Every structure is written in structure tokens, then in C-alpha cells.
Amino acid sequence: MSEIITNGAGTAPIGYTVGEDLVDRAAPDGPIETRWTRRKFAAKLVNPANRRKHRIIVVGTGLAGASAGATLGEQGYKVIQFCYQDSPRRAHSIAAQGGINAAKNYRNDGDSVRRLFYDTIKGGDFRARESNVHRLAEVSVQIIDQCVAQGVPFAREYSGLLDTRSFGGVQVQRTFYARGQTGQQLLLGAYQALSRQIDAGNVEMHPRTEMLDLIVIDGRARGIIARDLVTGKVSTYMADAVVLATGGYGNVFYLSTNAKNSNASAIWRACKRGAYMANPCYTQIHPTCIPRSGDHQSKLTLMSESLRNDGRIWVPKKAGDTRPPDQIPEHERDYYLERIYPSFGNLVPRDIASRAAKNVCDEGRGVGPGGLGVYLDFADAIRRMGEDKVREKYGNLFEMYERITGENPYKVPMRIYPAIHYTMGGLWVDYDLQSTVPGLFVIGEANFSDHGANRLGASALMQGLADGYFVLPPVIGNYLAQAKLVPADVDSPEAREAYDRSTERLERLLAVNGDRTPDSFHRELGQLLWDYCGMARNEAGLRKALARIPELREEFWQRVKVPGTGAELNQSLEKANRISDFLEFAELLCLDALHRAESCGGHFREESQTPDGEALRDDENFAYAAAWEFTGVGSPPVLHREQLKFEEVHLAQRSYA
């Protein structure tokens, strides 16, 4: 069975074939409320005395990785953990601002596990698996208990009780927070728990060490190849199970709100060893980021979208109007969100606000350098409530804006523009968070499991910690208790092959010695994806990108210039290695976006919209997760569909009315 999409623009056919449907066999049937309890009871256990005989590799130390490493260490497993940063405390979870959701119902405002489950399924535009999402909602309450006990300084009321606030797309106040630094505080809690296990000798920590490949022996994940970024030494690490907690792939777009070194190499190389990649086209774009200031721009910074409560978004009515904002009279301004969406105005959902900003900029009405920005104006708010009140509400955000742009937002309207900041897609996992390679578990943003086509605010932190603290430990034990593993040997042919493959790739990168820097390719790839696979996608554009990406990849391997050697701290080599993976992964991202001819959540296909421009799902044809099997670089992947069943929540068109 095959469904080849041939690419009109290129010479080689770019397409895919369709394989057998994928079924999640790990989740029990029956009442959804008790599935997790029954799964844990059915899981085989590893005797505490036997746990220390099992080595588990954990890659990444963000919320998911650090919480998993700490918990597995506490339980007595021998954990070998890696991060590319100089300290496990620096993973990019640290930059999350807003908060973490939990169905505690401390406000007595009608919240419940059921409601958090429902909100997450609906917010994900009905493209997530019900059983996983329900479990996430269940364990959310334990996360808060755990973090409070660790000393995470959540915001409190004068009574001494925890404070909560509400977040986008939700009508209850279930978001716990620590000022604008919730991610930092939760990560430090997990990092400290991990540090305790390092000190106890249960976790062997390798900072400044990056995974290069996955070792698969007899069909099971048995180890990784990793490079010490300081000495350049490439080593082989064997284990009984491998856990990837390596985050999302937003940096494939070059400019995103991700950390500069965040990358897709671990998940992509695991994909090349047999783990299916699911729904890569589900990317989330945040409407309120600080726009780029020039070609030198290296990353984008998010501004809390709470600003849209009081700021008014506008652009000049006339294209190419370069007058300063205070010289554009009121009647020559277009408050386009208020005009197009009179009932929601500036508070339309993230995806709508993002696409509208893109549209006005495409019309030549954008403001600031390069015309890629819109005004977010507080003049009315200052007139209405006074500058002091505005300062009280948004002071820290205004300061951050001024530090970056040099402009005083009390006097001059802010400029904002949308940016990539989260990826819902990732490696396919079953209910046990196990990928299609037995023994390879994937947690946090690196997997595809819980957010469907769109993630709700304050749910990323919840999922990372749920996976690491509470979900992974029992199910990984079940795997270890049943898998009859023979000792894995660093000299096995599979390990040697992975080692050779990794080192040869590094040598090839160093040997090209061309005339373009690694970053120049990354910028070009990012621009291509942003133009054709960004906020709004269509068939013609995606075909263009699919024709261009292989050419760019070819050019990369002909012309990239990587200075220095592999036997030293060589940041250019690290970068080039990651970019070489982005250049392969990007093709699958665009192919997935092309194959999914519906709009859903963060994936907006221009061909599939309602008359008033809202995303139009096609449940009849696309109510499935698309899991892609790798067959070779430039070779058509195989699509495996996991049909999604909605037994608890009825499929319905999302409505913003």
C-alpha cells in the first residue's frame, strides 16, 4: 500500500508510503478514571535489592529528565545522566515564566481532574490520546505536593496558603506560580533532588556531554554514544534502558524562544534507529514576542501574553507608512484585532493573534526594522488607569522590554511579533512512555503524547514533572522486570557500529572545509521553514520547502566550514552537528504538514478554514496521530496511523464565542 506524493518542483519524488496502523497496547481498557491505577497494579516490579543491578541512561536534565533521574536514583537504580550544559541546573525548562496547572480545586471554583482532562483534550484540538491526558490530570495534584515539600517558593497569600491564577483558555484558577519564574523554581527543585542522588552515588552525572547516537541491540535500546564537549572524547555507554528527555525541536526554525543550544539531535538520531516520530507539524507560535532588530538576531524573547489584557494592538492603515507612531493620527490606525474580532478584540487565542499579525505584515503594514512587528500600545491604558497602575501590573515586563529594545514602552508603543516557542510533536510513545524501540522511553517535550495539536499555557511544566516524577518510574520498572536482558557489551558490533557512525559524521563535518559558516545554513533553513511551514501553511509553499531542503542539505555537506578539531572544546562542531540533523528533520516536518491537509491547533492549513478564517478540522480523515518511520535520508518515510478514539470527550469544533 502506498500513497506517493510526487513533488512537482523537484526531480526526485518526495512522498511517503503507508504502513500498518499503530495501536497503543499499554493502556488498559475500561473506565478511564481507574486506568492508571490498574496499569500500575498490573506492572511487574523490580525487587529493591535488584534495582541497583539495572543501569538506566537519562539524557537531559530539564524538568522531565531531572525529576526522572532523581526519582529513579531514589528507588535504587543506577542512573547515568547526561546534559550538554555545564550544569544540570541550566536546562531550558528554567526559562518558563507563567506557571504550572494542577487540579487541586483550592479555589472551590468547580475544578476537578475531569475538568483539567477535558480542558487539555479540547485545548489540544482533539488530537491527543485520552488515556494519557487523563493520567496527566490525575498526577497533577501530586506534583504540587512534591514541589512544595522540596521548598519550591510558590506564590502565597497572606494566609500562608498557595496562590493560584487563571490562564488562557480555562475558566478556573488552577495555575500555581512563582512570580514570572515558575520554570526556574521547579527546575531548581528537581535539580536539587537530582543533586542529592548524585551525592548519594545513585546518579552518575555527565555535564557538558552530548548524545550522538542510540545503540540498539536485538531490537532493544541498550546504550548511547556521547561526546565529552570539553575534551572531544567520544564514548560508549551501555545500559538496560534509555530515557530521552531532550526537549523540543523549535530551534529547527533558527529563531525561536528556545535556548540557543536546544536541538533535535537526540530524538532525530533515535528516529533513525527505529523510533517513530509523531506529529512533527504540531508547532506552537506565541503571539507576543519581542521582534527581531536585525540580521544579527540570534533568538527571540517571549513577553507574557497577559499584556494583551490592557494593551491595544494596531498597525498603520497605509502600507509602507514609516512615520513614528505618535505622528500617526487615530483615524489612520488599524486596530485590526478589534476590527476583525469585535467580541474578543485583543484577547483572541494565540494562533488567531499570531496569524493576524503575519497577515498585516505581509500586506506591508508591519512596523519597526524589516516591517516585521505590530504595535502593542498602552497609551489608552495609561490614560485610563494612570502610569503607576500600569507599572504596578506590568512593571517587570516593561523593564525587560526596555532592556532589550532600548525603548521606553510608557512613552512609545511596544513592538511585538509572533515566534515559535513549543513543539507538541515528538517521538511516538505508548501509554508506558515507551517508543517503538523497546527499552527507549521518551518523556517531557521530547515525546508527542499529551498536548495534541496545541498545548495550553502552564501545561508544559505539568507534563515534564508528571512524566519524570510519577509516570516513568513504575512503567520503566515493569519493562526491566520482564525484559530478559543479557549484559550489553561496549564491544558488541552494534555499539561499535554506532560509535563509528558518530565519529565518522564528525570527521566528515570537519573535512568539508568549505566557505559558509554553520549558522548561515541554520538561518537559511529557519527562514525557509518560517516562510512555508510557519504560522500558516499551504500545499504550494510546503512543496517549495520540500524541494529546497534537500538542496540546502546537499550544499551544507559541500560548503560548510567547521574550524578546529574534534579533540577539543569546539562549539562550531557542536553547532554544525546539530544543524546537520535539523536539515534532515525539517524535511519530515514539512512532509507531515503537507500530508495533514486539515487545520488543527497549531497546524493551520490555508486550504482548510471556516468562512471566517478559523482552523477547520477534518475528523473523518485525520483523527489520528501520524507516526513516521525513518527509511533513509531523502527516502520516503512510512506513515503509521494511530487512530484516536474519543470515548470520554465528544469531538466538537473549538469555538471562541
Partner 1 sequence: MKVTLRIWRQSGPDESGKLVDYQMDDVNPDMSFLEMLDVLNERLILNGEAPVAFDHDCREGICGSCGMVINGMPHGPQTLTTTCQLHMRTFSDGDVIVVEPWRSAAFPIIKDLVVDRTAFDRIIQSGGYISVATGSAPEAHSQLVPKPDADLAFENAECIGCGACVAACPNGSSMLFVSAKVSHLNVLPQGQPERETRVLRMVEAMDLEGFGGCTNTGECTNACPKGIPQASIARLNREYLRASLSGRR
Site residues for partner 1, 49-68, by CB under 8 A, read: 67
Residue number, 6 or 298, with CB nearest to partner 1: 298
309 contact partners, CB below 8 Å, separation of at least 6:
346, 347
Site residues for partner 1, 302-361, by CB under 8 A, read: none
Site residues for partner 1, 269-288, by CB under 8 A, read: none
Residue 633 in contact with partner 1, rule: CB under 8 A: no
Q: Which stretch binds partner 1 (CB under 8 A): 50-58, 90-98, 438-446, 599-607?
A: 90-98
Residue 70 in contact with partner 1, rule: CB under 8 A: yes
- Identify which of 182, 186, 150 has the alpha carbon closest to the alpha carbon of residue 167: 182
- Would you call 597 helix, strand, or coil by DSSP? coil
| Residue pair 146/464 in contact by the 8 Å Cβ criterion | no
Task: Please report how close the Cβ of residue 554 comes to partner 1 at its closest, in angstroms.
Answer: 21
Task: Please report how close the Cβ of residue 442 comes to partner 1 at its closest, in angstroms.
Answer: 19
Residue 406 in contact with partner 1, rule: CB under 8 A: yes
Residue number, 401 or 428, with CB nearest to partner 1: 401
The 465-504 site mask, x for binding partner 1 (CB under 8 A), equals ----xx--x-------------------------------
| The only residue of 25, 403, 484, 650 in contact with partner 1, by rule CB under 8 A | 403
Residue 405 in contact with partner 1, rule: CB under 8 A: yes
| Position 164, amino acid | T
Task: Please report how close the Cβ of residue 469 comes to partner 1 at its closest, in angstroms.
Answer: 5
Site residues for partner 1, 543-582, by CB under 8 A, read: 561-564, 568-569, 571-572
Task: Please report how close the Cβ of residue 71 comes to partner 1 at its closest, in angstroms.
Answer: 4
| The only residue of 39, 78, 89, 127 in contact with partner 1, by rule CB under 8 A | 89
Site residues for partner 1, 192-251, by CB under 8 A, read: 192-193, 195-196, 198-199, 205, 207, 230
DSSP assignment of 104-125, as one string? --TT-SS--HHHHHHHHHHHTT
| Residue pair 247/92 in contact by the 8 Å Cβ criterion | yes
Q: Which stretch binds partner 1 (CB under 8 A): 1-9, 144-152, 322-330, 599-607?
A: 144-152
| The only residue of 44, 52, 53, 156 in contact with partner 1, by rule CB under 8 A | 156
| The only residue of 11, 159, 322, 327 in contact with partner 1, by rule CB under 8 A | 159
| The only residue of 32, 63, 136, 188 in contact with partner 1, by rule CB under 8 A | 188
Task: Please report how close the Cβ of residue 273 comes to partner 1 at its closest, in angstroms.
Answer: 27
- Identify the active-site residue in 350, 355, 553, 605: 350
315 contact partners, CB below 8 Å, separation of at least 6:
333, 334, 336, 360, 361, 365, 366, 367, 374, 375
| Residue pair 226/42 in contact by the 8 Å Cβ criterion | no
| The only residue of 3, 33, 86, 392 in contact with partner 1, by rule CB under 8 A | 86
Task: Please report how close the Cβ of residue 550 comes to partner 1 at its closest, in angstroms.
Answer: 25
Q: Which stretch binds partner 1 (CB under 8 A): 19-27, 30-38, 160-168, 373-381?
A: 160-168
Identify the burial level of 239 via C-beta atoms within 10 angstroms of its C-beta, where 0-12 means exposed, 13-18 middle and 19 or more buried. Answer: buried
Task: Please report how close the Cβ of residue 272 comes to partner 1 at its closest, in angstroms.
Answer: 26
Terminal-residue alpha carbon distance, the chain: 43
DSSP lists the bridge partners of residue 204 as 80
Q: What are phi and psi of 290, to 5 degrees?
A: -75, 130
**∠ Cα 311 167 278 (to 5°):** 110
Helix segments in 596-646, DSSP class H: 619-622
Residue 185 in contact with partner 1, rule: CB under 8 A: yes
Residue 158 in contact with partner 1, rule: CB under 8 A: yes
| Residue pair 255/291 in contact by the 8 Å Cβ criterion | no
**Residue 107 a catalytic site member:** no
| The only residue of 121, 136, 144, 239 in contact with partner 1, by rule CB under 8 A | 144
| Angstrom distances, CA of residue 621 to CA of 292, 424, 603, 637 | 38, 20, 15, 20
| Angstrom distances, CA of residue 355 to CA of 285, 599, 615 | 9, 13, 11
User: How far is Cα 539 from Cα 541, in angstroms, rounded to an integer?
Assistant: 6
CA dihedral (194, 198, 202, 205) in degrees, to 10, reads 90
Residue number, 186 or 600, with CB nearest to partner 1: 186
Task: Please report how close the Cβ of residue 540 comes to partner 1 at its closest, in angstroms.
Answer: 33
Which residue numbers are catalytic? 350
